Chain A
Amino acid sequence: MNHIAPGARAGIYHYDAIDRRFVGERVEQFRKQVDRRLAGELTEEEFKPIRLMNGLYLQLHAYMLRIAVPYGVMSAVQLRKLAEIGRTYDKGYGHFTTRQNLQYNWIKLEDTPAILNALADVDMHALQTSGNCVRNVTTDQFVGAAKDEVVDGRVYAEILRQWTTLHPEFTYLPRKFKIAISGAASDRAAVRVHDVGLLARRNEAGEAGFTFYVGGGLGRSPFIGKLVREWVAEEDFVAYLEAILRVYNQYGRRDNIYKARIKILVHELGLEKFKAEVEEEFARLRGPKYRLDPAIVAEIRTHFAPPPFEDLPETSDALARAKAENPAFANWVAVNVAEHKAPGYAIATISLKPPGGIPGDATCDQMDLIADLAERYSFGELRVSHVQNIVLAHVKQDELFALWQQLDAAGLGTANAGLIGDIIACPGLDYCALANARSIPLAQALSARFADPVRQRTIGELGIKISGCINACGHHHVGAIGILGVDKKGTEFYQITVGGDPTLTTAIGDILGPSLTEEETVDAIEAIVEVYLAHRTEGERFLDTLARVGHGPFKERIYAAD
């Protein structure tokens, strides 16, 4: 019956008739609104909030359409549709973002209803990608596959999708609201820089529950999410979240857009007062009527049942042989392949960061190829990571070599996941109407400068993250090296921060010194790397060395020369 997932293999939620009807109605509604706007019956002032609610922004060169990829997981069929849309209505490519979404950059208003219609054909839409609502929930890109996973976050992300979509109480929040869920030992979803960050865990009885962090966020005033409750049982999951949203809805600063996020509320109220308010609301809501029914959870879980894995030995001889024969492949496996919970399987990251490339951009031909490969090697399913890469989560170790050969032939075989070349960059001044400076050229210069795979591995784990303005869409605050574009009397300058960390040891980076030109910045980053390599002791990551030696040696090297 379902026309999306190839069979029932892919771990993707299947829309029911209600979902499908609702999305269809929204498309028709928007089609009429566009007609009325073009006919002059709606002014721009009236129309703008409507188009934003449908994911349509105005950028520098055209409209931009942001497509929701619920918790970053989609089917090969859906990706192929995205490629088709990019070819028909855009310029043959798309941009995968830190929100695990896809953006098209050259969209025409008059085409948008047709695009939304095409998306609805594959159960996709652009809802909750803009505006002051609960945005598309994000999660670990290895969800349902990672060896270190404790709880499958997709189940709860899907519950939130159903609960928040069209929920009247959450349509006009004081500001946007971003929720991230991680159910693994290592946090790959940057949970503590979200409005609500959830760690899904298990108690001694094996029951699922959640640790709630609230009030994290980046942007103009970065905050690390504060621990609000160590354990919320599964049945209280939605009620507790609703209590938080209610407190926010009631007290959030609607008077000042810069103070409207929940991070400011938590900060201004103080953690203890905020917690007390939430607990009071929760006590009111909680009860037999307001609990997450285990039957519902079980029903949703069936959509994310593991694909039919074969019984395989833990390790693959074919893989070992291929690695021995091909050093480039061996390097890719060492860097881009992660451990899977099923024996004989592996998780492969497809880097969208070739040296000198535009982070997160993929051509429609590449999307088609990835869709084919997902079908051939990963049960027809794939993920978008918040680091702007694509993940095939369930690849047989025996087939990794064949996969890599095809990726490599299409320019998708870059081995840099988690290394210095795996740069996050926002669109910046090349596309974005809010930007102060360009982000992409800097990312290109840096990934080219550090292209050598041996050098990258020598440097080890080091995330560079670049934003073109203080909104911080490129997560620069949590980059081990962060770069923020600023405008100084019409010239683009860049401010370097160091020490940021998006994982559970969350940290906001510190500014290293005065901002620099683009060229100086590239040299400065290289100098930072050299100082690190000169100071590091056995096994130290960049962040460890920085924590041990402090800013001094880095500052001295970059700024002392002047």
Chain B
Amino acid sequence: MPSPDGTLHAITANRLRDGVVVFLAAGGAWVESFADAALLTKAEAEPALAAAKAQAEGDQFGVDVYAFEVERADGAAQPVKMRERIRALGPSVRLDLGKQAAA
């Protein structure tokens, strides 16, 4: 459920061994697709981020773990900032590369 202020969050990292962008899914697994990321309220995001950081570093799984804002546009969730949109898709100048290419 969206928080009262309406802002949703998702949690992301780069996978340690190959640098691939990953997102935290519901249940605590890390997934490669933003579409599968858990969308959290602000209140949920803080403890989830702390836990994800501890887990990612503890398991040597991910680095640079952080939370970012997500908005809903026409029913679909998308990152608010261009930076995270580009991380979720791949370089905007090479549509043949990154996650956007897999589709």
With the chains together, A381 CA to B90 CA distance in Å? 35
B82 touching A60, Cβ below 8 Å: no
Q: Decide yes or no whether B55 CB sits under 8 A from chain A.
A: no
B59 to chain A, nearest CB (A): 8
User: Does B80 count as interface, using CB distance less than 8 angstroms?
Assistant: yes
Nearest Cβ distance between residue A51 and chain B, in whole angstroms? Answer: 10
Number of A-B contacts (CB under 8 A): 72
A109 touches B57 (CB 8 A): no
Q: Is A37 an interface residue (CB 8 A)?
A: yes
Are B80 and A58 within 8 A (Cβ)? no
The residue on A at minimum CB distance from B19 is A62
Whether A61 contacts B81 in the complex (CB less than 8 A), given A38-B60, A429-B86, comes out as no
Residues in A with CB closer than 8 Å to B64 are 58, 433
With A435-B83, A490-B80, A490-B82 given, is the CB distance from A109 to B17 under 8 Å?
yes
Please give the distance in Å from A423's CB to the nearest CB on chain B: 14
Chain B residue at smallest Cβ distance from A435: B83
**Central interface residue in A60, A62, A429, by most chain B CB within 10 Å:** A60
A58 cross-chain contacts in B, Cβ below 8 A: 14, 19, 63-64
Beta-carbon contacts under 8 Å, B50-103 to A: 57, 59-60, 63-64, 80-83, 86-87, 90-94, 97-98
Contact A61 B91 (CB under 8 A): yes
Nearest CB to that of B18 among chain A residues?
A: A108
For B60, give the chain A residue with the smallest CB separation.
A40
Q: Does B26 contact A (CB under 8 A)?
A: no
Question: Is B25 located at the chain interface by the 8 A CB criterion?
Answer: no
Is the CB–CB distance between B97 and A62 below 8 Å? no
> Within 8 Å of chain A (Cβ to Cβ): is B21?
yes
Does B21 contact A60, Cβ atoms closer than 8 Å? yes
Contact B17 A492 (CB under 8 A): no
| Residue B16 at the chain A interface, CB threshold 8 Å | yes
Q: Taking chain B's interface residues, is the majority helix, strand, or loop, or is none over half, making it mixed?
A: loop
Complex partner residue of B82 from A62, A431, A492, CB under 8 angstroms: A492
Q: Contact between B86 and A38 (Cβ–Cβ < 8 Å)?
A: no
Cα A109 to Cα B18 in complex, Å, equals 5
A314 interface contact, C-beta 8 A: no
B14 CB contacts on chain A under 8 angstroms: 58, 62
With both beta carbons as reference points, the residue of chain B lying nearest to A427 in the complex is identified as B91
Q: What is the distance, in angstroms, from A64's C-beta to the closest C-beta of chain B?
A: 9
Chain A residue numbers with a CB within 8 Å of B19 are 58-59, 61-63, 107-109
**B-side contacts of A63, CB under 8 Å:** 18-19
Q: Of all chain A residues, which has the CB nearest B87? A: A60
Query: Are A44 and B93 in touch, CB under 8 angstroms?
Result: no
A358 at the interface (CB under 8 A from B): yes
CA distance A37 to B63 in the complex (A): 12
State whether A44 and B63 are in contact (beta carbons under 8 Å apart), knowing that A60-B83, A62-B18, A110-B17 are contacts in the complex.
yes
Chain A residue nearest to B80 (CB atoms) is A490
Cross-interface CB contact of B91 among A44, A108, A430, A433, cutoff 8 Å: A430
Report the stretch among A155-163, A215-223, A398-406, A436-444 that lies at the interface: A436-444
B35 interface residue (CB < 8 Å to A): no
Would you call B60 and A39 a contact (CB within 8 A)?
yes
- Give the Cβ gap from B73 to chain A, nearest Cβ, in Å: 14
Q: In residues 84-109 of chain A, which contact B (Cβ within 8 Å)?
A: 91, 106-109
Residue B20 CB within 8 A of the other chain: yes
A43 to B19, CA, bound (A): 16
Residue in A62, A441, A490 whose beta carbon sits within 8 Å of that of B92 in the complex: A441
User: Which residues of the other chain, B, contact A61 by a CB distance below 8 angstroms?
Assistant: 19-21, 87, 90-91, 98
Name which residue of chain B comes closest to A441, CB basis. Answer: B93
| Interface 0/1 of A53-69, CB less than 8 Å to B | 00000111111000000
Task: Identify which of A37, A358, A437, A490 contacts B16 (C-beta below 8 A).
Answer: A37
Q: Contacts of A492 on B, CB cut-off 8 Å?
A: 82
Taking the closest CB of chain B, its distance from the CB of A212, in whole angstroms, is 40
Q: Which residues of B contact A39 (CB under 8 A)?
A: 60
Residues of B within 8 A of A59 (CB): 19
In the complex, the answer to whether B63 meets A430 with C-beta atoms within 8 Å is no
- Bound Cα distance from A431 to B16, whole angstroms: 17
A433 neighbours in B (Cβ, 8 Å): 64
Q: Which of B21, B59, B83, B98 contacts A429 (CB 8 A)?
A: B83
- A39 to chain B: closest residue by CB: B60
A76: shortest Cβ distance to chain B, in Å? 27
The minimal Cβ–Cβ distance linking A105 to chain B, given in whole angstroms, is 8
The distance in angstroms between the C-alpha atoms of A238 and B59, with both chains bound, is 48
Q: Who on chain B is nearest to A430 by CB?
A: B91
Cα of A512 to Cα of B64 in the assembled complex, Å: 37
Are the CB atoms of B20 and A62 closer together than 8 Å?
yes
Q: Chain B residues near A437: list those with CB within 8 A.
A: 82
Chain A proximity of B66: nearest CB distance (Å): 11
Known: A58-B63, A492-B82. Contact between A430 and B93, CB under 8 A? yes
State the CA gap A430–B97 with chains docked (Å). 11
Query: Hey, which chain B residues are within 8 Å of A91, CB to CB?
Result: 97
**Taking CB as reference atom, which chain B residue is nearest A42?**
B60
A residues within 8 A CB of B60?
37-40
Which residues of the other chain, B, contact A490 by a CB distance below 8 angstroms?
Answer: 80-82
Binding site for B on A (CB under 8 A): 37-40, 43-44, 58-63, 91, 106-110, 358, 429-431, 433, 435, 437-438, 440-441, 444, 490, 492
23 A–B contact pairs at CB < 8 A? A37-B16, A37-B60, A38-B16, A39-B60, A40-B59, A44-B57, A58-B64, A59-B19, A60-B21, A60-B83, A60-B86, A61-B20, A62-B14, A63-B18, A110-B17, A429-B82, A430-B91, A430-B93, A431-B91, A437-B82, A440-B93, A490-B80, A492-B82
10 closest A-B pairs by beta carbon, nearest first, are A62-B19, A108-B18, A430-B91, A63-B19, A40-B60, A440-B93, A110-B17, A44-B63, A60-B87, A430-B93
Given contacts A58-B14, A62-B20, 17 further A-B pairs with CB under 8 A are A40-B59, A61-B21, A62-B18, A63-B19, A106-B97, A107-B19, A109-B19, A429-B82, A429-B83, A429-B86, A430-B86, A431-B91, A437-B82, A438-B92, A438-B93, A441-B92, A441-B93
